[in-house]
Structure 1
Amino acid sequence: MLSKDTLFALSLFPYLGFLWFLTRSGQTPRLALIGFYGTLVFVGVTIPAGIYAKMVYHDTLANIDWLHGGAEIFLTLSNILVVLGFRQAVISKQSSR
């Protein structure tokens, strides 16, 4: 059985493929695409935050509220950008009718 850490690392490859196809298609709203790439920033922040939580607090990231919340802000911002990007595209499409 694979550990959760291994599964987390392996999940990056399909996501990178997803980003590659989205970028290549040229059909994804720019702001939404930035949001999808922002998810990688979230991952990049979460990994060191998890290591810090383990080394300093001897606990998992999920149990250190201020650290976990700080990392989750990046995911929230990414999600907001995705939503705003697609919202902007829908409004633009509706106004061009």
Structure 2
Amino acid sequence: MLSKETLFALSLFPYLGFLWFMTRSGKTPRLALIGFYVLLIFVAVTIPAGIYAQVAYQENLANVDWLHGGAEAFLTLSNILVVLGFRQAIINHKKNVPEEKP
């Protein structure tokens, strides 16, 4: 059975593939794409924060509130950017598509 750390590391490869296709398609709203890339910052911050929590406090990251909250802030930022990017794309699409009459 794979450890959660190994599974976490392996999950990075499909996500990088997802980013590559989304970027290459040219159809992803720019702000949403930035949000998807910010998720990599979340991963980059979470790993050392988890190590620090283990070394300094002998706890999992989830049990050290100030570290966990700081790392999760990047996840929140990522989600906000993705939502705002797709929201703007929907608004722009609605402006460019004539309304259908019933």
TM-score (norm 2): 0.94
Aligned residue in 1 for 2:68? 68
Larger Rg: 2
Structure 1 gaps of 5+ residues are none
Aligned to 2:100: none
Shift of 1:96: 1.2
Report the RMSD for the aligned CA atoms in angstroms. 0.4
Between the two proteins, the alignment pairs up a number of residues equal to 97
Give the structure 2 partner of residue 96 of structure 1: 96
Give 1:50-89 correspondences, 5 Å limit: 50-89=50-89
Percent of pairs with identical residues: 77
- Residues 7-46 of structure 1, C-alpha deviations (whole Å, 9 max, x = no match): 0000000000000000000000000000000000000000
5+ residue gaps, structure 2, are: 98-102
Hey, which of these two has a bigger chunk of helix by percent? 1
List aligned pairs for 1:22-33, cutoff 5 A.
Answer: 22-33=22-33
* TM-score (structure 1 length as normaliser): 0.99
Structure 1 residues 49-72: Cα deviation after superposition (integer angstroms, max 9, x where no partner):
000000000110000011101100
The residue identity in structure 1 corresponding to 2:66 is W
Runs of 4+ in structure 1 over 3 Å off: none
